[in-house]
């Protein structure tokens, strides 16, 4: 009953503060009691705090709000302190009994902020800053605290690491939104992974120091992660190499550390050795210094789908790892939302609360999409089952803030979290000058499209009924769809010329350009669909408006199809690592393509014309008994056909195959693939299915002993085939990367 009454109090308090200044605060506070009285925010104030708070980062944050601080008493007073400070002693019973919690009272004469600890005080200052954002304050009291102890982000994606400036901006963003963790673990940092034993060069070490200092100023734990698993030897020498590297990072001022063994195979993946190493580091490094955060381990088996029979690896970690060492977990699969049942499952095996590595909005496995949609699907009842929760964002740091804003909201106050409301607030926060345009554009950039992890998101929800109707061939939907196309075009134009957040627009630009093409394509298609509905069967009628004929709009639609195709392969437009540019692929584009096909077929039937029905076409399909490769996307640009890479370790059972089939014969000009290790050519057999139904073997080779790329024999060139099949003929299970697979055709 007590829990119910508390929940009711919180909800009613928030309702009273709705559409007022508290509504501007992210994350949504736990308990708010408001009179609804608004008053002008002060232009100056005096600050009262105990002497030991004078160097506090919370007071520094207060000065950054931009209000003049007067040495003498002002008509508006801000009183700050932590439980135990004289300045807030009479409020100590009102401060929540939670780490990082705070109590806040706001009135026309002043503000009191009392934190349970230093970080709680800092978060109270952030709440004040957000309340004042539009020049007013609200008479209210707030009692607030986080549901999840550790909340933040991990720079753990594959691809171009964030720039130093982006990292600083991210850390500032985390502080403003009450997230307390940033894990530095970019896969492409050689001193994190490939050259983990080596010290950073002086200039790079100074940059890490700067990040760590900024993190402290924002109440953020800066975790530096090391990834020794690729080539670690379980010897005293390598054990000491790892500790020595951590000592060097400690010397830079860093006090939080993680050790990663993800996405590897072989000797480095032994669970008992990993536990032994982490326990040793805990003894001789963490406990020695006394001011180091608990270690974080990212295990080799970091999701349920890989756990295997008996979950031996996970039980080994649970049994042998010392209590206090945190274990990271991505959920039921590599990319998955997190729910109660799954947390119970992993916590039982590792004998501690799991620390979630949430692979969203990361897009390193769908590089032709940018993910700007709502963050939803995680359980609202799992706060007590987590030790921490961090998001793995995209290489697009600014665009990732849409999701990160909502995750901060979710992890702070889980039960009332509303994904759509939080998403709209995130967009307003990121680009207030053009928030409506960004919301329209973002709604076409939610779903991931087909991908190897099978993780999908809803998209363009408001268009579902209309697009469903269009997919049935209903041409009467054309007028409404054209209105949405015009809205998308307008949004793209407004965003491309926005100057208020150049960081964001630079990231979005390829998709904005493609969005404009998509909108124009939809306008052309809906116009020709309406011509058919109106019975204008003369395809080339030119009276009055010559370019509004079916023929002109058909050719315009075909021209825009080509422009969209060409843009996807334009290296002058694409970002580094980007493989294409897709948006609106779940509903809007399929609906427009359907209208194009139906309208063209009807015109041909009515007028005896022979217009070709061409929309998007995918002649290649995958057939395989390697589960991790079944859903890999296939892309075609000109004569080059690529299967999307996978950044996890792929398990090839004995005799397993990967087959790429085509619906018509194609003539090959070249082919190669990369499984991440030299010498793998001898483990596989390549065969091509000839048009006469026979399979022909093709030689596989490496150019030298260090070459990871598998090349084909000369007999492949000029061969016409219906399918390509690669088979594991080694007689043993193989665990390998799948870094690239491509061929060139006529």
Please give the full DSSP string across 548-611, using - where no structure is assigned.
GSHHHHHHHHHHHHHHHHHHHT-TTTSPTT------STTTHHHHHHHHHHHHHHHHHHHH----
More confident residue, 269 or 11: 269
Q: pLDDT at position 9, please? A: 34
| Structure token pair of residue 559 | 């021209």
* Average pLDDT score over the chain: 93
Query: Among 85, 144, 262, 263, which one carries the catalytic annotation?
Result: 263
Q: What pLDDT does 544 receive?
A: 57
Q: Token digits for 21?
A: 């200044």
Helix boundaries (H) for 85-235: 118-131, 164-176, 202-217
* Banded model confidence at residue 7, pLDDT cuts 50, 70, 90: very low
φ, ψ dihedrals at 476, nearest 5°: -70, -10
**Tell me: the pLDDT tens digits for 644-702?**
888 889 999 999 999 999 988 999 999 999 999 999 999 999 999 999 999 999 999 99
Is residue 263 flagged as an active site residue? yes
- 566 token code pair: 């060409």
Alpha carbons within 13 A on the beta-carbon side of 44: 8
* Predicted confidence (pLDDT) at residue 740 exceeds the cutoff of 70: yes
Question: Omega before 361 cis (within 30°)?
Answer: yes
Q: How confident is the model over 552-558, as a mean pLDDT?
A: 95
* Nearest one of 327, 339, 346 to 260, comparing CA atoms: 327
Distance between CA atoms of residues 47 and 59, nearest Å: 9
Determine whether 456 is exposed, middle or buried from the number of CB atoms within 10 Å of its CB (0-12, 13-18, 19+): middle
- Residue 540: pLDDT band (50, 70, 90) is low
**Look-up of token digits 């496995």:** 365
Q: Is the pLDDT of residue 212 over 80?
A: yes
pLDDT at 107: 97
Backbone dihedral region of 336: left (phi > 0), alpha (psi from -120 to 50 degrees) or beta?
A: beta
CA angle 143, 380, 377 (to 5 degrees): 135
Q: Does 643 have pLDDT greater than 60?
A: yes
Cβ proximity of 137 and 372 under 8 Å: no
Tell me which of 4-13, 337-346, 402-411, 607-616 is least confident. 4-13
Give me the residue label for tokens 């422009």. 563
Let me know the angle formed at the C-alpha of 80 by 77 and 82, rounded to the nearest 5 degrees. Answer: 160
Mean pLDDT of 358-365: 97
CA distances from 121 to 22, 56, 85, 149, 419 (A): 17, 9, 12, 16, 27
pLDDT-derived band at 10, boundaries 50, 70, 90: very low
Find all residues with CB under 8 Å of 97, minimum gap 6, and list them. Answer: 116
**Confidence class of residue 135 from pLDDT cuts 50, 70 and 90?**
very high
Whether the predicted pLDDT of 746 surpasses 50: yes
DSSP conformation class of 29: P
- Residue 70: the pLDDT is 84
Average pLDDT of span 237-241:
97
Write the DSSP assignment of 243-290 as a string of letters: HHHHHHHHHTT--EEEEE--S--GGGG-HHHHHHHHHHHIIIIIHHHS
- d(CA 680, CA 683) in angstroms, rounded, equals 5
N- to C-terminal Cα separation, the chain? 72
Q: Helix, strand, or coil here: 495?
A: helix
d(CA 246, CA 225): 9
**Cα–Cα distance, 232 to 615 (Å, whole number):** 51
Given the candidates 3.40.50.1860, 3.40.50.300, 1.20.59.10, 2.60.120.260, the CATH classification of the domain at 620-745 is: 2.60.120.260
Summarize the confidence of residues 142-162 as an average pLDDT: 96
CA atoms within 13 A on the CB side of 6: 7
For residues 712 and 700, the answer to whether their CB atoms sit within 8 Å is yes
Mean pLDDT for the stretch of residues 592-618: 91
Closest-CA residue to 227 (of 260, 197, 185): 260
CATH fold of 150-426: TIM Barrel (3.20.20)
d(CA 628, CA 597): 34
Token pair belonging to 679: 């010498």
Give the total residue count for the chain.
Answer: 746
Helix, coil or strand: residue 63? helix
Residues of the chain with CATH 3.30.379.10: 2-144
169-178, 410-419, 538-547, range with the lowest pLDDT:
538-547
DSSP letter, residue 306: G
What are phi and psi for residue 292, nearest 5 degrees? -100, 140
Could you give phi then psi for residue 125, rounded to 5 degrees?
A: -65, -40
CB neighbour burial string for 52-72, b if at least 16 within 10 angstroms, e if fewer: ebeebbbbebbeebebeeeee
Return the biggest CA–CA distance within the chain.
94
Helix, strand, or coil (residue 461): helix
CA distance 581 to 635: 11
With 0-12 CB in 10 A as exposed, 13-18 as middle and 19+ as buried, what is 496? Answer: middle
- Position 569 scores a pLDDT of 86
Q: Which two tokens stand for residue 334?
A: 């590599």
Q: Would you place residue 541 in the very low, low, confident or very high pLDDT band (cuts 50, 70, 90)?
A: low
pLDDT at residue 11 in the model: 38
For residue 537, what pLDDT band results from cuts at 50, 70 and 90? low
CA-CA-CA-CA dihedral for 68, 71, 77, 82, to nearest 10: 100
**pLDDT computed for residue 6 by the predictor:** 28
* CA nearest to 685, candidates 705, 660, 657: 657
Nearest to 239 by CA among 206, 215, 275, 187: 275
Mean pLDDT calculated for residue range 381-389: 98
Spatial contact of 264 and 271, defined as CB atoms under 8 Å apart? no
Report the distance separating Cα 673 and Cα 676, nearest Å.
9
- Quick: pLDDT tens for 175-184: 999 999 999 9
The helix (run of H) or strand (run of E) holding residue 32 is: strand 31-40
Helix (H/G/I), strand (E/B), else coil: 78? strand
pLDDT of the residue at 12: 36
Pairing of strands 684-689, 657-674: unpaired
SS3 content of the chain, % helix, strand, coil (to 5): 40, 20, 40
Q: Which CATH code is given to the segment(s) 2-144? A: 3.30.379.10
Every domain of the chain with CATH number 2.60.120.260 lies at: 620-745
Kindly report the CA angle at 219 between 99 and 171, in degrees rounded to 5?
135
User: What would the pLDDT profile of 42-82 be if each residue is shown by its tens digit?
Assistant: 999 999 999 999 999 999 999 999 999 887 778 999 999 99
Strands 709-712 and 657-674: antiparallel
Beta bridge partners of 650: 736
Rounded to the nearest 10°, the torsion over CA 327, 328, 333, 334 is -140
- What CATH number was assigned to the domain covering residues 461-607? 1.20.58.460
Alpha helices in 294-356 (DSSP H): 312-320, 340-350
Q: Tokens representing 192? A: 């994190």
Start-end of CATH 1.20.58.460 domains in the chain:
461-607
Q: How many CB atoms lie within 10 A of CB 701?
A: 12
- List, by residue range, all CATH 3.20.20.80 domains of the chain: 150-426
| Bridge partners, residue 355, by sequence | 328, 388
Compute the distance between CA of residue 589 and CA of residue 567 in angstroms, rounded to an integer: 16
The phi, psi pair for 514, rounded to 5°, reads -70, -35
Confidence category of residue 2, pLDDT binned at 50, 70, 90 = very low
Distance CA 716, CA 668 (A): 7
């Amino acid at each position: 009953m007590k829990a119910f009454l508390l929940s009711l109090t919180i909800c009613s308090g928030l309702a009273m503060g709705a559409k007022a200044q508290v509504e501007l605060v992210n994350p949504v506070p736990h308990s708010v009691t408001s009179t609804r009285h608004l008053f002008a925010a002060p232009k100056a104030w005096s600050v009262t705090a105990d002497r030991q708070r004078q160097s506090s980062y919370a007071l520094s944050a207060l000065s950054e709000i931009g209000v003049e601080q007067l040495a003498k008493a002002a008509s508006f007073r801000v009183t700050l302190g932590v439980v135990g400070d004289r300045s807030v002693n009479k409020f100590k019973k009102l401060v929540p009994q939670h780490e990082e919690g705070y109590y806040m009272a706001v009135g026309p004469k002043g503000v009191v902020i009392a934190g349970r600890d230093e970080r709680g005080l800092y978060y109270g200052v952030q709440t004040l800053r957000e309340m004042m954002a539009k020049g007013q304050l609200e008479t209210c009291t707030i009692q607030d605290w986080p549901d999840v102890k550790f909340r933040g982000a991990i720079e753990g994606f594959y691809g171009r690491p964030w720039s130093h400036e982006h990292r600083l901006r991210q850390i500032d963003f985390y502080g403003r939104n009450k997230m307390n963790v940033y894990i530095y673990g970019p896969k492409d940092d050689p001193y994190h992974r490939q050259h983990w034993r080596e010290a950073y060069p002086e200039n790079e070490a100074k940059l890490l120091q700067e990040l760590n200092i900024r993190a402290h100023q924002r109440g953020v734990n800066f975790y530096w992660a090391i990834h020794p698993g690729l080539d670690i030897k379980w010897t005293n020498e390598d054990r000491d190499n790892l500790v020595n590297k951590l000592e060097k990072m400690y010397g830079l001022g860093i006090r939080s550390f993680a050790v990663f063994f993800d996405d590897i195979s072989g000797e480095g993946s032994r669970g008992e050795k990993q536990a032994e190493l982490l326990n040793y580091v805990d003894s001789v490094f963490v406990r020695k210094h006394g001011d180091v955060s608990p270690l974080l381990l990212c295990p080799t088996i970091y999701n349920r789908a890989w756990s295997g029979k008996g979950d031996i690896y996970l039980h080994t970690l649970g049994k042998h790892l010392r209590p206090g060492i945190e274990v990271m977990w991505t959920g039921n699969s590599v990319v998955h939302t997190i729910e109660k049942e799954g947390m119970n499952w992993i916590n039982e095996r590792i004998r501690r609360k799991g620390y979630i590595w949430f692979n969203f909005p990361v897009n390193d496995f769908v590089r032709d999409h940018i993910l700007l949609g709502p963050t939803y699907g995680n359980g609202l009842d799992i706060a007590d089952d987590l030790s921490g929760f961090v998001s793995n964002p995209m290489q697009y740091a600014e665009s990732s803030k849409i999701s990160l804003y909502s995750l901060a909201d979710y992890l702070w106050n889980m039960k009332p979290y509303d994904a759509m409301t939080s998403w709209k607030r995130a967009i307003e926060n990121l680009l207030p000058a053009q928030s409506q345009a960004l919301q329209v554009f973002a709604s076409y950039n939610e779903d991931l499209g087909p991908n190897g992890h099978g993780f999908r998101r809803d998209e363009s929800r408001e268009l579902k009924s209309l697009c469903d109707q269009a997919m049935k061939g209903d041409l009467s939907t054309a007028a409404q769809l054209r209105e949405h196309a015009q809205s998308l075009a307008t949004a793209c134009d407004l965003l491309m010329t926005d100057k208020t957040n150049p960081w964001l627009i630079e990231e979005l630009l390829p998709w904005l350009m493609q969005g404009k093409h998509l909108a124009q394509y939809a306008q052309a298609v809906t116009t020709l669909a309406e011509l058919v509905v109106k019975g204008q069967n003369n395809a080339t009628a030119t009276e009055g408006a010559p370019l509004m004929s079916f023929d002109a709009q058909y050719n315009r639609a075909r021209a825009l199809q080509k422009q969209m195709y060409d843009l996807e392969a334009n290296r002058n437009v694409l970002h580094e690592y980007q493989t294409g540019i897709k948006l609106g692929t779940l509903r809007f584009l399929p609906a427009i393509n359907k209208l194009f096909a139906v309208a063209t077929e009807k015109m041909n039937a009515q007028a005896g014309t022979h217009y070709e029905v061409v929309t998007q076409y995918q002649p290649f399909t995958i057939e395989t008994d390697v589960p991790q490769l079944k859903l890999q996307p296939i892309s075609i640009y000109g004569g080059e056909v690529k299967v999307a890479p996978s950044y996890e370790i792929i398990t090839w059972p004995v005799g397993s195959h990967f087959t790429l089939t085509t619906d018509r014969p194609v003539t090959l000009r070249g082919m190669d693939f990369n499984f991440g290790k030299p010498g793998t050519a001898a483990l596989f057999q390549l065969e091509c299915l000839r048009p006469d139904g026979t399979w022909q073997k093709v030689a596989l080779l490496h150019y030298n002993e260090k070459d990871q790329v598998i090349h084909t024999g000369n007999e492949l060139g000029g061969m016409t085939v219906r399918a390509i099949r690669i088979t594991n003929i080694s007689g043993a299970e193989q665990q390998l990367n799948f870094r690239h697979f491509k061929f060139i055709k006529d």
